[in-house]
């Protein structure tokens, strides 16, 4: 086991990552880690493959829609499919996810409607799903803020006496934030059943991970009293195994765990970003050789599971989801002018009500029933 348990911090091991499938699709002999996924059949592995293919298609479609002006912005997750699928597919429905804005693959796997999900990035709404409907909090844009919410939620799980868990997703950049560090302090102090899932995708917009940390990020957690593992984030099976390890600790009253999934942001930070200004193309090429989908596809082909028929079915599923996504985006009506006032408060509020009523009077001056659009475009 390569976990950082606080006692075996051999610097020579710090840069190692745990794997179950190599970049060329070869199984790795790692009995301890493999033990957590011993029940996963090849057919279930193929389902994970399908998830990843569909998510990559969602990502590609969303990027295209942004280029076509249908979305205002999109934060690609290209290259991080295994990290997201492997972790989210380890969860139970009653577990609760506190994601950042890049976990749209996670949200898809939890059952978010893909068209609704895009409404956030089109600018129609701030929330692409009902958090209580799929047990996923709204995408958090403030870097690292959601980690505290996960810890608080997990404290509530403890108070309720259930064996659910909370998981929070964040990136390597977020690990520098005070909130993430405070979250680890609280999680350890209260032994909260929470999983810290760091996707180290090597870049925080233009800053390489070395700006944030001079040691592997997973090595920080033991200092807080939180056991950690460093896994190949492009190996969906290793990610699932590590997440199951962490969830098992949480469910058995073992408190928080920390996973660093080492992956790579193959795309820009968002569609507004230009990584050619700061990134060596050779690095991108290196990581393209470690693609999460290709390696699993190779393994499944070797084992005869990913037949031509199955591959065609996966492609058809991805196409169908993409069509649903595109149609939902393009046909989504814009919100009305008075929607701006909705849900500021849960209870009636005189100050907001007065402004809404006065704006409605102003709008009415343009003619009864006119759906006035703002002049900003």
Partner 1 sequence: MTTMTFSQAINAGLRQAMDDDPKVLLMGEDIGKLGGVFRITNGLQKDFGAHRVIDTPLAESAIVGTAVGLAYRGYRPVCEIQFDGFIYPGFDQIVCQVAKLHYRTGGAVKMPLTIRVPFGGGIGSPEHHSESPEAYFTHTSGLRVIAVSNPQDAYTMLRQAIACDDPVLYFEPKRRYHSKGDVDLGASLGDAPAMESAAVVRPGADATLVTYGPLVATALDAATAAQDEGISLEVIDLRSLAPVDYAPIEASLRRTGRLVITHEAGLTGGLGAEIAAQLTERCFDYLETAPVRVTGFDVPYPPSKMEKYHLPDLDRILDGVDRALGRPNSLTGLEG
Judged by CB under 8 A, the residue of 166, 198, 296, 300 near partner 1 is: 166
Minimum gap (Å) between residue 326 Cβ and partner 1? 23
Length of the chain: 377
Q: Which two tokens stand for residue 159?
A: 């108070």
- In the bound state with partner 1, the residue whose beta carbon lies nearer, of 25 and 152, is 152
Report d(CA 125, CA 168) in Å as an integer: 22
Q: Is 159 in the site for partner 1 (CB under 8 A)?
A: yes
**H/E element holding 55?**
helix 42-67
Q: Is position 137 an interface residue for partner 1 (rule: CB under 8 A)?
A: yes
Q: Which of 7, 10, 29, 160 binds partner 1 (CB under 8 A)?
A: 160
Q: Residue 247: CB partners within 8 Å, gap ≥ 6?
A: 90, 91, 95, 165, 167, 195
Catalytic residue set: 265, 269, 278
Neighbours of 117 (CB within 10 A): 21
Q: How many residues bind partner 1 (CB under 8 A)?
A: 44
Separation of alpha carbons 187 and 196, rounded Å: 10
Q: Round to whole Å and give the CA distance between 340 and 270.
A: 26
Q: Which of 62, 151, 250, 261 touches partner 1 (CB under 8 A)?
A: 151
Q: Which of 138, 199, 243, 271 binds partner 1 (CB under 8 A)?
A: 138
∠ at Cα 45 (247, 325), nearest 5°?
A: 90
Residue 126 touches partner 1, criterion: CB under 8 A: yes
Q: What is the DSSP letter of 177?
A: S
Q: How far is the CB of 131 from partner 1 (least distance, A)?
A: 5
Nearer to partner 1, 178 or 367 (CB): 178
- Is residue 118 within 8 Å of 106, Cβ to Cβ? no
Using CB under 8 A as the binding rule, the residues of this chain from 334 to 363 that contact partner 1 are 342-347, 349-352
- Residue 228's DSSP bridge partners are 4, 258
> Is 166 or 217 the residue whose CB approaches partner 1 more closely?
166
Q: Which pair of tokens denotes residue 320?
A: 């169908």
Minimum gap (Å) between residue 179 Cβ and partner 1:
6
Q: Quick one: which of 155, 239, 262, 329 contacts partner 1 (CB under 8 A)?
A: 155
Q: Which is nearer to partner 1, 180 or 246 (CB)?
A: 180
Write the CB contacts of 51 (distance below 8 Å, at least 6 apart in sequence).
Answer: 81, 85, 89, 105, 108, 109
List contacts with partner 1 (CB under 8 A). 96, 98, 125-127, 130-133, 137-138, 142, 145, 147-157, 159-160, 166, 178-179, 182-183, 185-186, 189, 342-347, 349-352
């Amino acid at each position: 086991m390569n976990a950082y348990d606080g006692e075996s911090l051999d610097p020579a091991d710090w840069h190692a990552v745990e794997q179950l499938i190599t970049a060329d699709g070869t199984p790795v002999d790692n009995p301890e880690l493999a033990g957590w996924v011993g029940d996963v059949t090849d057919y279930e592995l193929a389902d994970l493959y399908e998830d990843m293919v569909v998510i990559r298609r969602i990502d590609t479609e969303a990027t295209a829609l942004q280029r076509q002006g249908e979305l205002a912005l999109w934060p690609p997750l290209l290259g991080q499919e295994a990290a997201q699928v492997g972790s989210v597919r380890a969860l139970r429905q009653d577990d609760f996810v506190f994601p950042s804005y890049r976990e749209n693959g996670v949200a898809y796997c939890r059952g978010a409607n893909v068209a609704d999900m895009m409404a956030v990035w089109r600018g129609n709404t701030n929330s692409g799903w009902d958090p209580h409907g799929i047990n996923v909090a709204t995408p958090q844009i403030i870097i690292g803020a959601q980690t505290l919410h996960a810890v608080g939620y997990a404290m509530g799980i403890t108070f309720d006496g259930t064996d659910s868990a909370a998981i929070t997703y964040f990136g390597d950049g977020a690990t520098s934030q005070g909130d993430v560090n405070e979250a680890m302090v609280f999680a350890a102090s209260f032994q909260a059943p929470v999983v810290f899932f760091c996707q180290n995708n090597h870049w925080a917009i233009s800053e390489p991970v070395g700006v944030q940390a001079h040691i592997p990020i997973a090595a920080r957690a033991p200092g807080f009293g939180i056991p950690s593992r460093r896994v190949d984030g492009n190996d969906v099976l290793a990610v699932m195994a590590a997440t199951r390890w962490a969830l098992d600790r949480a469910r058995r009253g073992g408190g928080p765990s920390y996973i660093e999934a080492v992956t790579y942001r193959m795309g820009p930070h968002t569609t507004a970003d230009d990584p050619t200004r700061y990134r060596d193309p050779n690095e991108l090429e290196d990581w393209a050789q470690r693609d999460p989908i290709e390696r699993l596809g190779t393994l499944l082909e070797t084992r005869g599971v990913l037949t031509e028929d199955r591959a065609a079915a996966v492609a058809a599923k991805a196409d169908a989801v993409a069509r649903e996504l595109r149609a939902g985006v393009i046909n989504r009506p814009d919100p009305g002018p008075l929607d701006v006032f909705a849900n500021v408060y849960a209870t009636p509020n005189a100050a907001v009500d007065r402004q809404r009523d006065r704006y409605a009077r102003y709008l009415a001056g343009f003619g009864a029933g006119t759906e006035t659009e703002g002049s900003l475009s």
